[in-house]
């Protein structure tokens, strides 16, 4: 029986490398997968998943009105698994399509993404993944400044913490640090 999985973690917790690893493991056994990513994430290039350790792979970009269910249902051969990176940037309709893929097509879907933004508010996609996922798993990493577990993302601008502004600003280590709650409130910068 297929299930919807949501694997979330702070920045630098290995989400993108994990999705690439899962795809490799399926494909090594001649089990095709479909890989999607949000079209909002353009750090490398739209339609690519890139890990910080240098692995990169093309993926189907998801826009607000992408028919994910249609793409998967028409794909030949039928995928053994659907993998989705940057789930936090998806909308409710996108997430409900992932639910339909699991429930109607009996194909497991594994979604990866951030849970909360730099203000510690849920992203829309993360909110609905948390509501609908059959299994939820936290991917852990350590705080940029101390030895605690990172559960938040600290946004920086010109080397200074930012606590207000647009929810989505695409960036990497130059823009965000994974931090614990204590260091988010009072970063030792």
Per-residue pLDDT of the chain (189 residues; tens, 9 = 90+): 999 999 999 999 999 999 999 999 999 999 999 999 999 877 777 889 988 787 889 999 999 999 999 999 999 999 999 999 999 999 999 999 999 999 999 999 999 999 999 999 999 999 999 999 999 999 999 999 999 999 999 999 999 999 999 999 888 888 999 999 999 999 998
- Of 18, 86, 124, 147, the active-site residue reads 86
Task: Say what the pLDDT of residue 69 is.
Answer: 98
Task: Say what the pLDDT of residue 20 is.
Answer: 96
Residue 172: other Cβ atoms inside 10 A: 12
Sole residue written with tokens 């996922």: 133
Q: Specify whether the CB–CB gap between 176 and 139 falls below 8 A.
A: no
The tokens for 9 are: 């973690």
Task: Say what the pLDDT of residue 35 is.
Answer: 98
Task: Say what the pLDDT of residue 53 is.
Answer: 80
Task: Say what the pLDDT of residue 64 is.
Answer: 95
Residue 87 to residue 149: CA distance in whole angstroms: 22
Residue 41: which residues within 8 A CB-CB, separation 6 or more? 85, 86, 89, 170
Q: Specify whether the CB–CB gap between 50 and 56 falls below 8 A.
A: yes
Query: Helical H runs in 41-136?
Result: 68-74, 92-105, 124-132
Query: Is 64 considered catalytic here?
Result: no
Task: Say what the pLDDT of residue 90 is.
Answer: 98
The tokens for 18 are: 């994990």
The tokens for 2 are: 């297929």
Task: Say what the pLDDT of residue 73 is.
Answer: 98
């Amino acid at each position: 029986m297929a299930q919807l999985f949501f694997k979330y973690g702070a920045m630098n917790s290995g989400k993108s490398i994990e999705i690439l690893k899962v795809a490799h493991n399926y494909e090594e056994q001649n089990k095709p997968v479909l890989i999607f990513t949000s079209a909002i994430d353009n750090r490398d290039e739209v339609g690519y998943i890139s890990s910080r350790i240098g692995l990169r792979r093309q993926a189907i970009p998801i826009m607000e009105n992408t028919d994910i269910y249609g793409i998967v249902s028409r794909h030949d051969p039928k995928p053994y698994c659907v993998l989705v990176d940057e789930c936090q940037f998806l909308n409710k309709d996108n997430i409900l399509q992932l639910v339909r893929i699991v429930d109607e097509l009996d194909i497991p879907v594994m979604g990866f993404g951030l849970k909360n933004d730099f203000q510690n508010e849920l992203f829309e996609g993360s909110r609905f993944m948390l509501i609908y996922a059959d299994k939820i798993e936290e991917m852990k990493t350590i705080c940029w400044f101390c030895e605690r577990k990172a559960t938040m993302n600290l946004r920086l601008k010109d080397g200074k913490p930012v606590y207000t502004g647009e929810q989505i600003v695409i960036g990497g280590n130059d823009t965000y640090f994974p931090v614990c709650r204590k260091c988010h409130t009072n970063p030792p910068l």
